[in-house]
Structure 1
Amino acid sequence: MSVEENIKLVNRGDKAIKDRDFKTIESLYAEDAIAIMSGSPEPIKGNKVIAEISRQYLESFPDSHIENELEIGQDSWVCVAGTWNGTNTGPLTMPDGTSIAATNKRVKIPMCTLFNVKDGKIIEQRDYFDMMTFMDQLGLSKP
């Protein structure tokens, strides 16, 4: 696939997230895809698990949206940088599996996501954001 086609694939994922279309999210990833996310102790493995984690975050932050400010690609990689916004009105599952009650606080943090695409599927995703800022805005950081 060309760089332009890879960017379009990633944009389809953004639309699926906006539409809360978890079947499409799952279909965009290879069965054995991995996602490496800030704060997660281990990579998330598999398209079904990636779609489920997306669903959990959107339940925690139902008004969540990403404002993409930059999309660039090279070879099989696509990089998307922007700002993530959302209000925590649902329980939040932490990377260690514990659940935290909704804080009803709004977060706004810069983030960057890298996607590696092979044969029309996302095989790897790497999310980068400042977990301390995220936790602080939720009122969950420890003094």
Structure 2
Amino acid sequence: MNRRQMLAAIGAVGLSVCFHSPSALAADAAPEVVAGYLAAWNAHDSAKAASYFADDVTYYDASVGTPVNGKDAARSGVVDNFLNAVPDAVWTMKGDPIVAGDRVSFEWQFSGTNTGAWSDGTAATGKSFKIDGASIFVVKDGKIAAQSDYYDALGFYKQLGLM
């Protein structure tokens, strides 16, 4: 490569860095943010999982129908609730996620044994379960701004012996 070609190549790389938008860089990180969050759940580390939430995160569980708003509420109302009730929980991504800009979606399987009480006062059943579902995440500025979960709640309750 001659000197002129090398300077042109360096200039092209420099321009691409200058004009690459920060939001595009953040969107590129969305799958890694979600993967880290999933790993924190599987490590049973609610503090680490909650560290991936934006302060104003919205967590929507379709089976509940009412969103949980804010990092602290999502940690205590969702992450802590599940990890306390199911201390051996395993959340497995099925296949590769679908990524579109700042959105990450994937199908999953969630399994474990209900050996702890639920935050609503429902006693542990001691029963194992395995449910399939799907989640949609919105990642902004390297944090989860929204999470929506969809799964068969009736099947879940039946496996736990609650219905």
Same fold (TM over 0.5): yes
What's the CA shift for 1:67? 1.7
Measured at CA, do residues 30 and 2 of structure 1 come closer, stay the same or move farther in structure 2, by a change above 3 Å? closer
- Aligned match for 2:160, one of 111, 135, 138: 138
User: For structure 2, which runs of at least 5 residues remain unmatched after alignment?
Assistant: 1-24
Please tell me the residue identity of whatever aligns with 2:131: I
Report the aligned-residue RMSD: 1.4
In structure 2, what is the equivalent of residue 69 of structure 1? 94
Indicate the structure with greater helix content.
2
* TM-score, normalised by the number of residues in structure 2: 0.78
Please identify runs of 4+ aligned residues in structure 1 that moved more than 6 A.
Answer: none
Tell me if 1:20 matches 2:44. yes
What's the CA shift for 1:3? 4.7
In structure 2, what is the equivalent of residue 92 of structure 1? 118
Distance in 1, matches of 2:158 and 2:66, equals: 23
Distance in 2, matches of 1:77 and 1:41, equals: 21
In structure 1, what is the equivalent of residue 105 of structure 2? 79
Indicate the structure with greater strand content.
1
User: For structure 1, which runs of at least 5 residues remain unmatched after alignment?
Assistant: none
The answer (yes or no) to whether the contact 2:27–2:140 under 8 Å persists in 1 is no
What's the CA shift for 1:131? 0.6
Tell me if 1:50 matches 2:96. no
Asked which structure has the greater CA Rg, the reply is 2
Report sequence identity in percent. Answer: 29
In structure 2, what is the equivalent of residue 105 of structure 1? 127
The secondary structure found in structure 1 opposite 2:87 is coil
